[in-house]
Amino acid sequence: MKTHTAYISLHTKKRREFVPLTQQVEQIIRESGIQDGLALVTSMHITAAVIINDYESGLWQDIMQWLEEIAPAKPDYLHHRTGEDNADAHLKQLLLHNQVVVPITNGEFDSGPWEQIFYVEFDGMRDKRVLVKVIGE
**Segment 69-121, tens digit of pLDDT:** 999 999 999 999 999 999 999 999 999 999 999 999 999 999 999 999 999 99
The reply to whether the predicted model has a pTM over 0.75 is yes
pLDDT at 127: 96
pLDDT at 41: 99
Question: Would you say 121 and 12 are in contact if contact means Cβ atoms under 8 Å apart?
Answer: yes
> What is the Cα–Cα distance from 129 to 131, expressed in whole angstroms?
7
Length reported for the chain: 137
Per residue in 15-36, pLDDT tens? 999 999 999 999 999 999 999 9
pLDDT at 82: 97
Q: Please name each of the domains of the chain with its CATH number.
A: 2-136 (2.60.120.460)
pLDDT at 34: 98
DSSP calls for 6-57: EEEEEE-SSSSEEEE-HHHHHHHHHHHT-SEEEEEEEESSTTEEEEEE---H
- Facing residues of 11 across strands? 127
pLDDT at 108: 98
